[in-house]
Structure 1
Amino acid sequence: MLVFGSAGAADLVVIVSARAPVPALRAEQVADIFLSESHRFPDGSEATPVDQQIGTAPRDEFYEKVVRRSPALLRAYWTKMIFTGRGQPPREASGNAGVKKLVAENPGMIGYIDRSALDPTVRAVLTVH
């Protein structure tokens, strides 16, 4: 697993709604959901990913460490997926608060936020290292 040495970087966590039945996920499972390779959680329920905005540090860190793709590789991936009709990129929300609000209100959604933004409305299912 990639570990970056930037001491100022916040810990990211992958979150689901506190009402979702998902206890934990592996990085590979999260990557598959965010790359449209899988549309379901391990229990079979629908999984809809929510991204932070393009160009933000949390988004870049998430994709580098969990999905293992740079912003350029991710753009190329989605261009191909859209062109071939095999998928659409996740919807975007604005910052930790936007992602947390959407995910908290929708048990089928999954997103990522800074650990410091966690509250009882959402549950961390993976810590990004």
Structure 2
Amino acid sequence: MMRLIKSLLISSVFLSAFSYAEISVIVSSNNHNDSLDKDNISRVFLGKTKNFPDGSQAVPVDQKAGSSARESFNTNVLGKSSSQLKAYWSRLIFTGKGTPPKESGDDLAVKKLVAENPNLIGYVNSETVDGSVKVVYKF
């Protein structure tokens, strides 16, 4: 019995270590911004600014609702749950003061869009990153 419990505990430790996926915030490799901080990214995705720190236009791209990358991004970068973000954007839309980020599909769809346009910013699981995009923030 003790052996079974010990095996289960060890398994749960390894599984929890592998279940965490690092998320990368990405821009096109043609974008002139080499790094952004959490506040810059949050302001872009919450519609508080429409520009990167260098002055160029910044257009955020969200992953599809319910994706693990989106949930992680919302919590760790924006500091909001999905329901809080829904309420936030509902208020801004109702008052005419903002529109939510464009929603794309999964990691590959976001990476493809961002790679093609230097004004876009998105986030993907880090293992998706290749030379077509540049990582400006990781968590």
Q: TM-score, normalised by structure 1?
A: 0.94
> Using the alignment, how far apart are the partners of 1:9 and 1:88 within structure 2?
31
Could you say what secondary structure the match of 1:54 adopts? Answer: coil
Identify unmatched segments of 5+ residues in structure 1: 1-5
| 1:51 equivalent in alignment to 2:70 | no
**Aligned residues: percent identity?**
42
TM-score by length of 2: 0.87
- Structure 1 stretches of 4+ with a deviation exceeding 2 A read none
What pairs up with 1:59-74 in 2 under 5 angstroms?
Answer: 59-74=70-85
**Alpha-carbon deviation of 1:56?**
1.0
* Deviation digits for residues 80-108 of structure 1 (CA, Å, limit 9, x no counterpart): 01001111110111100000000000000
For these two proteins, the number of residue pairs brought into alignment is 123
Structure 2 CA distance for aligned equivalents of residues 108 and 83 of structure 1: 26
Return the index of the structure with the highest Cα Rg: 2
SS in 2 for 1:69: coil
- What's the counterpart of residue 9 of structure 1? 20
**1:99-114 maps to which residues of 2 (within 5 A)?**
99-114=110-125
Calculate the aligned-residue CA RMSD, in Å.
0.7
- Indicate yes or no: 2:132 matched with 1:121: yes
